[in-house]
């Protein structure tokens, strides 16, 4: 039996630190009563919905209701390094894709787990907190598709509006904001593996840059949405500061199951379930859907907005025939893993998650627990399939200072759905090793998938089929990016730690010559993972484009009135980078559109000025290092 009194001297300081560190969560923004009618109803309190609720309620004449299906975040979700541990918990919708025909061979039943935030703050509570805005070409291309008002120079002020950048070396370069709601900073204590990353990029021909500055093609230790070493979700950033605003009501555990329309196709309210009871609330002005790339199309289709044939098949009365759920895109990656001869330089869970590190984190906001889910480096590169005359990289290398075995198989194996065969043959032998991984993320995939209803019940998860790697160009460019990643891990920056490519053969790929293009393609199709960026299922575009679901002011088309969508689903084409910051920007911009306000565009350097600073792959050096890796690999197996 434990003598609790003898342990009090050790427990009391820890409890005091927990209380102090949890100060941001000590106030609630939620309530248990509400009105029958509001000016605006926002559905979903995620990366976009929290911003919309804040900005619309700035007008004291408007009343705003924010409805969230989940509850509040907690002290564990605040710890950056714990990001993966939040998946498949009550904070997560825990979706799964359909079995993939051209990818995910090493996952259980060829299904990929799709975590999505079911909590105030949405996926900004579950994500890896990376703050990346995308490429200027992305937004200029949106305009070329007919989305007037969404050019890079027009959206840049809205990125800056949100931002409170706390890194002096970056904050004042003209591309960042200070004093906004969203705190952005660099983790204070990078590992030695992280510090080597920009140096590895220089060996391959890429400069160390501000990833959100004038150019994107380069390598860096990334900034993240962290504040005092802890996660800064959109709930913490945009909702907690306005907890006493009387015209904003926030309801948690309120799952919207249907949008209500009158005979003129005007959205007049929503139906939602809360603690097993069904309620209706009405909107005088508009309903704004911010459920994300999965939940928003599901809700629209359940409410009668979607492909006519599909809704007819499901027996749902049609409000508007629109291509809801189509055009699904996502960022995916294969794994390139390295073991290290030097010990103590990578992130190994049983070494890093220690009492001294926990106390240091809660007391000072420092130490390895502040690392962004283990992600410590981002490198935007151009494969041989990219346009070398432009600053438009086609892959983004993510550095993780470990691999799937770094937690002894406790979380990563489960949350990523790794099959027993892949785990035992490829990853298990590296338990207790110091390792690191380079994940080349395919930034502009050509494969397209879809989301459809599984049934008419809002409690049945929808059918999610991203059709990963079904377009042949995707796997060709991915193989080239894997070669660049292999070379990066063997540059002098990492060779000094004794880096060596994993010397195990990927199960199922034994029939191909080792490290041949066919072998690397097989490896990519075996271990395929999402970087959590599903988008584009309620495509923004001009009304005359039959692929459009919402117009450039994010109003639902098809004769529908009083209904808008703002989240990743409205992107017409996936952006070149992580999606959280762009989603926040889109909500900032839409709130001004509704208010009739317009920020002035910002002039940025022209292409010719920027082009001299853009990096490009030194293929002679890549080939040399890759051939060295190939020879070592063949010799070791």
pLDDT at 28: 79
Q: Are strands 113-114 and 95-96 parallel, antiparallel or unpaired?
A: antiparallel
pLDDT at 610: 62
Q: Can you tell me which residue has the tokens 């590992």?
A: 191
Q: Are 295 and 70 in contact (CB under 8 A)?
A: no
How many angstroms from the chain centroid is the CA of residue 217?
Answer: 20
Poorest-pLDDT segment among 294-298, 543-547, 605-609: 605-609
Query: Is residue 5 pLDDT above 50, yes or no?
Result: no
Beta-bridge partner residues of 501: 338
DSSP assignment string, 533-564: --B-TT-B--TT-TT-SB-TT-BB-TT-BSEE
Q: Are strands 434-442 and 450-452 parallel, antiparallel or unpaired?
A: unpaired
Rounded Cα–Cα distance for residues 521 and 505 (Å): 13
Say whether 207 sits in a helix, a strand or coil: coil
pLDDT at 24: 53
Query: Is residue 8 pLDDT above 80, yes or no?
Result: no
Nearest to 451 by CA among 534, 379, 537: 537
369 against 604, higher pLDDT: 369
- 37-597+611-636 placed in CATH 3.50.50.60: yes
Q: Are 393 and 216 in contact (CB under 8 A)?
A: yes
Q: Which residues 6+ apart lie within 8 Å of 385 measured at CB?
A: 394, 473, 476, 477, 480
Q: Which helix (H) or strand (E) element contains residue 529?
A: strand 529-530
337 is catalytic: no
Q: What is the pLDDT of residues 385-429, one digit of tens each?
A: 998 889 999 999 999 999 999 999 889 999 999 999 999 999 999
Nearest to 46 by CA among 271, 289, 231, 223: 289
Q: Can you tell me which residue has the tokens 């220690």?
A: 354
Average pLDDT over residues 349-359: 94
Q: How confident is the model at residue 69 (pLDDT cuts 50, 70, 90)?
A: very high
Q: Which of 113, 176, 398, 533 is catalytic?
A: 533
pLDDT at 541: 98
Q: Which residues 6+ apart lie within 8 Å of 373 measured at CB?
A: 80, 81, 82, 83, 84, 128, 129
What's the Cα-to-Cα distance from 42 to each of 68, 509, 516, 565, rounded to whole Å?
9, 48, 51, 10
Average pLDDT over residues 205-218: 96
Query: Is residue 2 pLDDT above 60, yes or no?
Result: no
Rounded Cα–Cα distance for residues 520 and 476 (Å): 10
602 is in an annotated binding site: no
Instruction: Bin 250: left if φ > 0, else alpha if -120 < ψ < 50, else beta.
Output: beta
- Token pair for residue 480? 């080239």
pLDDT at 388: 83
Count other C-beta atoms under 10 Å from residue 89's C-beta: 16
Find the largest Cα–Cα distance for the chain. Answer: 74
Average pLDDT over residues 250-277: 98
Query: Is residue 613 pLDDT above 80, yes or no?
Result: no
Q: What is the pLDDT of residues 149-199, one digit of tens each?
A: 999 999 999 999 999 999 999 999 999 999 999 999 999 999 999 999 999
Instruction: Bin 386: left if φ > 0, else alpha if -120 < ψ < 50, else beta.
Output: beta
Q: What is the pLDDT of residues 438-494, one digit of tens each?
A: 999 999 999 999 999 999 999 999 999 999 999 999 999 999 999 999 999 999 999
Burial class, 106, CB count within 10 angstroms (exposed 0-12 / middle 13-18 / buried 19+): buried
Query: Is residue 10 pLDDT above 50, yes or no?
Result: no
Q: Are strands 248-251 and 64-67 parallel, antiparallel or unpaired?
A: parallel
Q: Can you tell me which residue has the tokens 């080792």?
A: 514
Q: How confident is the model at residue 612 (pLDDT cuts 50, 70, 90)?
A: low
Mean of pLDDT over the chain: 94
Query: Is residue 9 pLDDT above 50, yes or no?
Result: no
pLDDT at 21: 53
- Token pair for residue 193? 């593996």
Q: How confident is the model at residue 609 (pLDDT cuts 50, 70, 90)?
A: low
pLDDT at 605: 76
Say whether 489 sits in a helix, a strand or coil: coil
DSSP H helical segments within 270-353, as ranges? 292-302, 308-314, 349-352
127 is in an annotated binding site: yes
Ranges assigned E (strand) in 124-276: 163-165, 182-184, 219-220, 226-227, 230-231, 248-251, 254-261, 267-274
Produce one character per residue of 273-282: b if its CB has 16 or more CB atoms within 10 Å, e if not.
bbeeeeeebb
pLDDT at 426: 97
Query: Is residue 18 pLDDT above 80, yes or no?
Result: no
Q: Which helix (H) or strand (E) element contains residue 583?
A: helix 580-595
Q: Are 539 and 328 in contact (CB under 8 A)?
A: no
Q: What is the pLDDT of residues 312-343, one digit of tens each?
A: 999 999 999 999 999 999 999 999 999 999 99
pLDDT at 615: 83
Burial class, 35, CB count within 10 angstroms (exposed 0-12 / middle 13-18 / buried 19+): exposed
Produce one character per residue of 611-628: b if its CB has 16 or more CB atoms within 10 Å, e if not.
eeebbbbbbeebeebbee
Count other C-beta atoms under 10 Å from residue 84's C-beta: 19
Rounded Cα–Cα distance for residues 189 and 55 (Å): 34
Rounded Cα–Cα distance for residues 127 and 347 (Å): 19
pLDDT at 6: 37
Nearest to 565 by CA among 549, 577, 582: 549
Q: Are strands 37-43 and 277-289 parallel, antiparallel or unpaired?
A: parallel
């Amino acid at each position: 039996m434990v003598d609790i009194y003898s342990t009090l001297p050790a427990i009391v300081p820890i409890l005091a630190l927990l209380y102090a560190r949890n100060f941001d969560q000590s106030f609630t923004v939620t309530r248990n009563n509400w009105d029958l009618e509001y000016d605006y109803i926002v559905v979903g309190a995620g990366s976009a919905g929290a911003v919309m609720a804040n900005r619309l309620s700035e007008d004291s004449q408007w009343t705003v209701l924010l409805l969230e299906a989940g509850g509040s975040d907690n002290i564990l979700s605040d710890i950056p390094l714990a990001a993966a541990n939040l998946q498949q918990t009550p904070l997560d919708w825990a979706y799964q894709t359909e079995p993939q025909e051209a990818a995910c061979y090493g996952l259980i039943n060829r299904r990929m787990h799709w975590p999505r935030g079911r909590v105030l703050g949405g996926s900004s509570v579950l994500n890896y907190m990376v703050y990346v805005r995308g490429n200027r070409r992305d937004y200029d291309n949106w305009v070329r598709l007919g989305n007037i008002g969404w050019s890079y120079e027009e959206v840049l002020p809205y990125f800056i509006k949100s931002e409170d950048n706390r890194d002096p070396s970056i904050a004042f370069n003209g591309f960042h904001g200070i004093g906004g709601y969203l705190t952005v900073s660099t983790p204070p204590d990078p590992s030695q593996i992280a510090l080597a990353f920009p140096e590895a990029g220089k060996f391959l021909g890429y400069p160390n840059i501000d990833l959100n500055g004038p150019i994107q093609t380069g390598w860096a230790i990334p900034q993240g949405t962290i504040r005092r070493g802890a996660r800064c979700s959109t709930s913490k950033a945009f909702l907690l500061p306005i907890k006493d605003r009387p015209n904003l009501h926030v309801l948690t555990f309120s799952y919207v199951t249907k949008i209500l329309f009158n005979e003129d196709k005007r959205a007049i309210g929503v139906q939602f379930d809360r603690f097993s009871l069904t309620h209706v609330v009405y909107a005088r002005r508009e309903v704004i859907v911010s459920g994300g790339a999965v939940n928003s199309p599901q809700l629209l289709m359940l409410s009668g907005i979607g492909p006519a044939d599909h809704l007819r098949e499901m027996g749902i009365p049609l409000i508007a025939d629109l291509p809801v759920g189509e055009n699904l895109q996502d960022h995916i990656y294969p794994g390139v893993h390295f073991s290290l001869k030097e010990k103590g330089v990578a992130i190994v869970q049983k070494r890093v998650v220690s009492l001294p590190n926990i106390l240091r984190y809660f007391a000072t906001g420092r130490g390895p627990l502040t690392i962004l889910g283990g992600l410590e480096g981002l490198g935007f590169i151009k494969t041989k399939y990219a346009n070398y005359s432009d600053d438009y990289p086609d892959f983004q290398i993510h550095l993780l200072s470990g691999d799937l075995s770094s937690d002894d198989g406790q979380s990563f194996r489960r949350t990523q759905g790794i099959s027993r065969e892949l785990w035992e043959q490829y990853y298990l032998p590296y338990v207790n090793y110091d390792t690191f991984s380079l994940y080349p993320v395919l930034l502009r995939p050509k494969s397209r998938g879809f989301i459809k209803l599984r049934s008419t019940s809002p409690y049945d998860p929808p059918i999610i089929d991203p059709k990963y790697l079904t377009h042949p160009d995707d796997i060709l460019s991915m193989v080239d990016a894997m070669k660049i990643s292999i070379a990066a891990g063997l540059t002098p920056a990492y060779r000094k730690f004794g880096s060596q490519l994993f010397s195990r053969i990927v199960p199922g790929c034994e029939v191909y010559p080792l490290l041949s293009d066919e072998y690397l393609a097989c490896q990519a199709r075996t271990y395929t993972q999402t970087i959590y960026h599903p988008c584009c299922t309620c495509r923004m575009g001009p009304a005359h484009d039959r692929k459009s679901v919402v117009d450039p002011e994010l109003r639902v088309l098809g004769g529908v009135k009083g209904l808008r969508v703002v989240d990743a689903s409205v992107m017409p084409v996936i952006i070149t980078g992580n999606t959280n910051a762009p989603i926040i920007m889109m909500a900032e911009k839409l709130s001004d559109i509704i208010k009739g306000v317009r920020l002035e565009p910002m002039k940025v350097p022209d292409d010719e000025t920027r082009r001299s600073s853009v990096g490009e792959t030194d293929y002679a050096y890549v080939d040399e290092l890759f051939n060295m890796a190939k020879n070592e690999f063949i010799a070791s197996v």
